[in-house]
Amino acid sequence: MSSVINFAVDQGWLENNPVLARMRRIEERRNPIMLPRNEDIALVIERAPGMVKDLIRAAMATGARQDKLLRARRDDVDHDRRQLTVTGKRDKRRTVALDPFEGYELLRALPAYVGSPFLFWHSAGKSYKNFSSQFAAIVNRATKWARKHGVDFRPFRFHDLRHWHAVHWLKAGRSIYELQHRLGHTSVKVTEGYLRCGYLTFEEQQAAMVGRERVA
Q: Report the CATH number that the domain containing residue 187 is assigned in CATH.
A: 1.10.443.10
pLDDT tens across 17-48, in order?
776 666 555 444 567 888 999 999 999 999 99
Residue at 4 is within a domain? no
Q: Three-state SS string across 133-188, please?
A: HHHHHHHHHHHHHHHHCCCCCCCCCCCHHHHHHHHHHHHCCCCHHHHHHHHCCCCH
Range of the domain at 109: 38-210
| 155: in domain | yes
- The residues near 175 (Cβ < 8 Å, ≥ 6 apart) are 208, 210, 211, 213
- What is the tally of structural domains in the chain? 1
In a domain, 175, yes or no: yes
Q: What is the pLDDT along the chain (216 residues), one digit of tens a residue?
A: 666 666 555 556 666 677 666 655 544 456 788 899 999 999 999 999 999 999 999 999 999 999 999 999 999 999 999 999 998 766 788 999 999 999 999 999 999 999 999 999 999 999 999 999 999 999 999 999 999 999 999 999 999 999 999 999 999 999 999 999 999 999 999 999 999 999 999 999 999 998 544 433
Each residue's pLDDT tens digit, 177-192:
999 999 999 999 999 9
Residue 110 lies in a domain: yes
Q: Is residue 8 part of a domain?
A: no
